[in-house]
Amino acid sequence: MATKNLFCLLFYIICLSPASAQVSLSIEITHLRSDHGHVLLSLYDENQVQIRGLKATIKNSKSIFQINDLKPAKYAFKYFHDENDNSQLETNSLGIPIEGFGFSNNAKGFLGPPSFDKWIFSVTKDQMVQCQPKYL
């Protein structure tokens, strides 16, 4: 009987502990220039390690990503509107993007991408974030 009670107690602790909790993150990219192509998104952990690469369709100038089974932690993402569906961010001869792009927190850089600390954010519960791409 004591063994059964101990097992139940351990099971309860493991299942309900914050370390095992999972959260969902919805990312909505709005104000896309067109419905052509897809939006490609890279999700990073707090150590700047890419943990997921995602692709979403565009409808009504909007794209939605649903990411489930995340641990509560700090994350960041970057994305671009792959209008010609070649899986690459198109740039002009000076290296300036000609397709829309963006970062979590709508972080902006100056003469280059923003520093990672500007686009990292905490996910502690199910949440939804919205971003708008920048077209140069």
Mean pLDDT calculated for residue range 71-91: 97
Higher pLDDT, 36 or 111: 36
pLDDT in the model for residue 21: 86
Query: In this model, does residue 12 exceed pLDDT 60?
Result: no
Nearest to 91 by CA among 66, 77, 108, 112: 112
pLDDT in the model for residue 2: 59
- Residue where the block lists tokens 């089974």: 69
pLDDT in the model for residue 119: 96
pTM of the model: 0.83
Tell me how crowded residue 93 is: count the other CB atoms within 10 A of its CB: 5
DSSP state of 116: H
What amino acid occupies position 65? F
What amino acid occupies position 6? L
Query: In this model, does residue 65 exceed pLDDT 80?
Result: yes
Q: How far apart are CA 19 and CA 130, in angstroms?
A: 27
Going by pLDDT thresholds of 50, 70 and 90, the confidence category of residue 111 is confident
Q: Report which secondary-structure segment, H or E, holds 15.
A: helix 2-16
